[in-house]
Amino acid sequence: MALLRESETLKALRNTVSDEISRIKDKSQAQDKILEMREVSQRIKGMDEELKQLEEELNGFLLTVPNLPDPATPLGASENDNVLVRTWGEPADYSFTPRPHWEIGEDLGILDFECGAKLTGARFTLYRGAGARLERALINFMLDLHTDGHGYLEVLPPFMVNRESMQGTGQLPKFEEDLFRLVDPEFFLIPTAEVPVTNIHRGEILKKSDLPICYAAYTPCFRREAGSYGKDTRGLIRQHQFNKVELVKFTHPSESAAELENLTGNAEKVLQLLGLPYRVMALCSGDIGFSASKTYDIEVWLPGQSCYREISSCSTFGDFQARRAGIRFREEEKSKPEFVHTINGSGLAVGRTLVAILENGQQEDGSVLIPDVLRPYMGGLERIVSR
RNA sequence: GGAGAGAUGGCCGAGUGGCCGAAGGCGCUCGCCUGCUAAGCGAGUAUACUGGGAAACCGGUAUCGAGGGUUCGAAUCCCUCUCUCUCCGCCA
């Protein structure tokens, strides 16, 4: 701080003296001042270098500091301390033992894990026929619902972004090992549409009257899943590449709490229309993400595994991302810009939704019933049967 | 991939070393004026950090794509990078 003051004082001196020099017609008379300023400039340069280094250290540190949990976020150490908020729907009773989706999908010939591994490696899958069609149907169904039904603006962003974008939403610098990175040029495959969509307004001052701004985006997502070896190795649950429809809102700070509830409700609506039972959990302070201040996870019922699995994560970030990315608005025409709040959530993870449809819609004969709302997107198909 | 042209305020656009945080225009805001509207007139109109003040406000520093260099002094000169545009080639 003191260093900054001194540097600025010297700069002020240099500026005024330089101004005087400019007014001296006879340059020989200005020689002594020029020499003096030459020295001042050297000192400024030294100080600025030091300042820059200090600033870099400070910023580097600040970028690794996580967001503060919202007061409404329950305290806790792990996912075991998450709080059940509500449940919807009843897991069906089966007259047979429900099978996991990887068996159903392989038997129907619509999911080919082996081929995915051949083409690329572990955690990649080839969809075939009705499986590929179902994935596409879900994307379209979700986008139509959120745009026509919930008023979001559809956007289709790049699937790779630069380092600044990753820093704006908080993936970098701390979580580089979770990302796929291209070397030349240095781009990152997005781990979620949250990254490009939130960065749409990076460095902007938004009009208060435009808030909230609501975007819906379909993108594939790419994750290294470092540190998850041996976890969910079978099936579609944990892939290096998966599809997702993401909802993103930029809101006035006073509206963000209510908008998180809205957005979570918008995501839940997808499951309700598909007739898939789910529950909503409030993540505790120990399980919440680095950038989030409050998070609801929506977990869908998977009878093949007799458990609820996360299918959407809806978070408010407060002004955390807005600070990093410089996204602001003005309360009054002339007032100082303030940071907006950002909110986002999956609406929904498409692959996991397909999993839920296979497992919840499975019949004793191995076929799978397609939810009514999806049939128009499936060319009228009501049931997936083995070919 | 080859050749060239650019990047300046909300927008357009001037500015080739000091009088430039930046002409002019548009837009916008406030005021005036005109019996409505349109036109006209006047003033204002970037951001961050920072010093003083209760505040209105006054002062300092930085920012003319980004970073570095030359210089007492850079929007202006030099280097590197990024992006945009035009032409040629290639390509879904």
Mean of the pLDDT values across residues A109-113?
A: 97
Q: Among positive and negative, which fits the CA dihedral A148, A150, A156, A159?
A: negative
Residue A25 has pLDDT above 70, yes or no: no
- Beta strands A278-282; A368-369: pairing state: unpaired
Torsion A368-A380-A352-A261 (CA) sign: negative
Q: State the pLDDT confidence band at A52, using cuts at 50, 70 and 90.
A: confident
N residues, chain A: 387
Catalytic site positions of A? 223, 238, 310, 313, 352
A322's CB contacts (< 8 A; 6+ apart) are A328, A339, A340, A341, A342
For the cut 90, the answer to whether the pLDDT of residue A159 exceeds it is yes
Q: Which nucleotide is nearest to A37 (CA to C1')?
A: B72
- Percentage of chain A modeled with pLDDT above 90: 67
Per the listing, tokens 């598909």 go with A274
Q: How far apart are the first and last CA of chain A?
A: 73
> What pLDDT score was predicted for residue A27?
64
CA A222 to chain centre: 12
The whole-number pLDDT of residue A31 equals: 83
Distance (Å) from CA A187 to C1' B61?
35
Helix/strand/coil (H/E/C) assignment for every residue in chain A? CHHHHHHHHHHHHHHHHHHHHHHCCCHHHHHHHHHHHHHHHHHHHHHHHHHHHHHHHHHHHHCCCCCCCCCCCCCCCCHHHCEEEEEECCCCCCCCCCCCHHHHHHHHCCEEHHHHHHHCCCCCCEECHHHHHHHHHHHHHHHHHHHHHCCCEEECCCCEECHHHHHHHCCCCCCHHHCCEECCCCEEECCCCHHHHHHHHCCCEECHHHCCEEEEEEEEEECCCCCCCCCCCCCCCCCCEEEEEEEEEEECHHHHHHHHHHHHHHHHHHHHHHCCCEEEEECCCCCCCCCCCEEEEEEEEECCCCEEEEEEEEEECCCHHHHHHCCEEECCCCCCEEECEEEEEEEEEHHHHHHHHHHHCECCCCCEECCHHHHHHHCCCCEECCC
Q: Is the pLDDT of residue A103 over 80?
A: yes
Distance in Å, residue A336 CA to nucleotide B54 C1': 20
pLDDT at A26 over 70: no
The pTM for the full model equals: 0.91
Mean per-residue pLDDT for A230-259?
A: 94
Q: Which residues touch strand B (CB under 7 A)?
A: A 5, 8-9, 11-12, 14-19, 21-22, 34, 37-38, 40-41, 45, 52, 185, 205, 328, 333, 336-337
pLDDT for residue A280: 98
Q: Does residue A47 have a pLDDT over 70?
A: yes
Omega cis (within 30) before A348? yes
Mean pLDDT in chain A? 92
Q: Tell me: pLDDT of A30 over 80.
A: no
pLDDT, greater one: A228 or A80: A80
Q: Å from A77 (CA) to B14 (C1')?
A: 62
Spanning CA of A165 to C1' of B1, the rounded length in angstroms is 29
Residue A296 pLDDT greater than 80, yes or no = yes
pLDDT tens-digit series, residues A185-239: 889 999 999 999 999 988 888 888 888 999 999 999 999 998 888 788 899 999 9
Alpha-carbon span A341 to A251, nearest angstrom:
5
Q: Which of A76-85, A124-133, A196-205, A240-249 has the lowest mean pLDDT?
A: A196-205
Residue A179 has what pLDDT? 93
Average pLDDT over residues A356-378: 97
pLDDT in tens, A297-308: 999 999 999 999
What local confidence, expressed as pLDDT, does residue A194 receive? 96
**How does strand A205-206 pair with strand A328-330?**
parallel
On the question of pLDDT at A29 being above 80, the answer is: no
Is the preceding omega at residue A98 within 30 degrees of 0, hence cis?
no
- Report, as an integer, the average pLDDT of A269-294: 96
Structure confidence by residue, pLDDT tens digits, A322-362: 988 888 888 876 778 888 999 999 999 999 999 999 999 99
Amino acid A230: pLDDT: 79
Q: Are A76 and A300 in contact (CB under 8 A)?
A: no
